[in-house]
Amino acid sequence: MTLETISTAKAHGGVQGVYRHASAETKTPMTFAVFVPPHEQGAKLPVLWYLSGLTCTHANCMDKGEYRRLAAELGLIVVLPDTSPRGETVPDEKDNWQFGSGAGFYVDATQAPYAENYRMYSYVTKELPAVIAANFPADMSRQGITGHSMGGHGALTIALKNPDTFKSASAFAPIVKPSVAGWSKPALEKYLGADETAWRAYDMVLLIEDGKRFPELLVDQGEADSFLTTGLMPELLVDAAAKAGQKVVLNLREGYDHSYNFISTFMDDHLRWHAARLKA
């Protein structure tokens, strides 16, 4: 598979790169970022995936996430995919920031005209991992996943459905029940159709109710987040997990909002959480 290098820069002894490839899943070029920490030649390193939120690309966390220093110290490869397919031929709603470009919701769309390109679940869980394995010193037997907001929803639903692939999972301010949240329910209907039973595969609360489990989930949530009560609703995850016996560690952070000021503050906590679970 051909990988185009857009840029590389040395950081904390490692390399922060941005790359592009032609995706068979989305049928578009896809751009992503990878940080490779300093390591001995021939070493294989654990991989942490970071899934970004609505309107974001790989660049948001790369520029503001403040992960490189500790990732270098802990020996973690960090992968930052894009949030959706992009391009003039990709169907979109340009005036709707909650749908289309920048808002793939990490689902495989089944409805026309979106099914052709919006296959972010398969892209993140199958195609891009193959690219990472082929081009970077990655130990794919040691993978963790995290994300923010829409990406937190993606990270935790992917972990719940793939507990044999991922050894650790966490999220910053995830959309815990997108089937009811105002900023995600319309997107699920457009991508997956009006039959709400099809949405269950992409809703962490419903996945837990349906029997999906992961050893433990870490969630950080700012108490001053303007989306807390209408879009994120972490209490729904806590309630579902308690009923099912699913372990969830929820940290409510006083005074913190939904921004990268919040994420960068607690990024080290999440990196250490993952590193401890991704040891050889």
Cα-based distances in Å from 34 to 48, 61, 73, 146, 260: 10, 11, 16, 15, 19
What is the DSSP secondary structure assignment for residue 198, as one 8-state letter?
G
Predicted TM-score (pTM) of this structure? 0.98
Domain count, the chain: 1
Q: Domain of 151: which CATH number?
A: 3.40.50.1820
What are 144-156's pLDDT values in tens digits? Answer: 999 999 999 999 9
What pLDDT, in 10s, does the model give residues 63-98? 999 999 999 999 999 999 999 999 999 999 999 999
| Each residue's pLDDT tens digit, 182-230 | 999 999 999 999 999 999 999 999 999 999 999 999 999 999 999 999 9
Three-state DSSP at 191 gives helix
Under 8 Å between Cβ of 121 and 158: yes
Please give the Cα distance from 171 to 148 (Å, whole number): 6
Give tens-digit pLDDT for 235-245.
999 999 999 99
Could you read off the pLDDT of 31-41 as tens digits, one per residue?
A: 999 999 999 99
Question: What separation in angstroms does the CA of 2 have from each of 16, 32, 131, 135, 139?
Answer: 19, 14, 9, 10, 21
What is the percent of the chain with per-residue pLDDT over 90, rounded to a whole number? 99
**What gap in Å lies between CA 250 and CA 219, rounded to an integer?**
5
What is the domain range of residue 205? 3-278
Phi-psi domain of 27 (left: phi exceeds 0; alpha: psi -120 through 50; beta: other): left
pLDDT at position 280 is 65
Q: Which residues are catalytic?
A: 149, 225, 258
